[in-house]
Amino acid sequence: MKVIKKQQGFSAIDISIGVAIIVSALVIAAPIISGFFSSVSGGKIELQVSGLSSAADCYRSITRSYAGMDNDELLATDCVTDDGLFLNDFGGTNSVAPLSSNPATGYVITVNGITSDGLGERKVREHQEKGNNASYSGGTLTIEKTL
């Protein structure tokens, strides 16, 4: 009588199939995960740009102009109560300043340190669709807002 020995562990074929399934799932999921994080980062940029826009409008309501406005003045006038608004998740800084061409009628928001060209270019398109001048170069997003 022949005794059949019980198999213990996995064969090389079992392991290869398992690895192939995991790799396939990761290849399919990578663009979805990347898009999600890009979307989250884009939303955070918009929150910061919106906060800086509100602060600039607050400053103008106090001084009747954007002239002389910078991050320090926004803090001094209590238009910004937390300087965390001037830092971003990319390790860069955000700033707001009057338009050099006409400080009475507009301002420029600058977001530095953006690590994804695709995200920067998408933000330019979004702001141009809203009627703002916007540009992106070398990790820096610049948005001009006018009255």
DSSP-assigned states of every residue in 31-100: HHHHHHHHHHHHHHHHHHHHHHHHHHHHHHHHHSSSTT--HHHHHHTTS-S-GGGGB-TTS-BEEEEE-S
The CATH code belonging to domain 12-146 is: 3.30.1690
Q: Where are the domains of the chain?
A: 12-146
Q: Between 102 and 143, where is the model more confident?
A: 143
pLDDT higher than threshold 60 for residue 125? yes
Could you tell me the pLDDT band of residue 140, with boundaries at 50, 70 and 90? very high
| 27-67 pLDDT tens trace | 776 666 655 555 555 678 888 888 888 999 999 999 988 99
pLDDT (tens digit, 9 = 90+) per residue, 62-111? 998 899 999 999 999 998 887 778 887 778 889 999 998 888 889 999 99
User: pTM above 0.85?
Assistant: no
Q: How far apart are the first and last CA of the chain?
A: 95
- Per-residue pLDDT, 47: 84
